[in-house]
Amino acid sequence: MERYLLVALGGALGSALRYGLGAWVQVLTGPSFPYSTLLINALGSFLIGVVIRLSLEGALSGEGRLFLAVGVLGGFTTFSTFSYETLALLQDGEVGRALVYVLASVFLGLLLVLLGYRLGGALVA
């Protein structure tokens, strides 16, 4: 039961952080492109790289990994929102913008998870 509580509390925190950061970025950038979701997914990818590496190196407990990776970052990242926003761009005839969004999200996510993983390794070295 404790593990479920860790995930639930982390998920609530991650969701609240996603909402706050997303609203702030949208105020700065406007609604014409889903910059907030792109930023959140990229940042979440970086942070999960750090968390997983720290966990694998023994610098973070299993409970800490569960709370942060599954709970906080699971609530923080927004892949379902990303999918819907891509569909909305396509339905609006914005094929080029949808393609840029998908490619940027995937490549930034992969790059940042790698960088986060390496940073996690450097932190325990």
Instruction: Please enumerate, by residue number, every residue annotated as part of a binding site for Na(+).
Output: 74, 77
Residue 27 tokens read as 């105020």
Binding annotation: 74, 77
Residue 94 to residue 102: CA distance in whole angstroms:
12
Which residue from 85, 10, 19, 80 is spatially nearest to 47, judged by alpha carbons?
10
User: Which helix (H) or strand (E) covers residue 94, if one does?
Assistant: none
Residue 99 phi, psi (nearest 5)? -65, -45
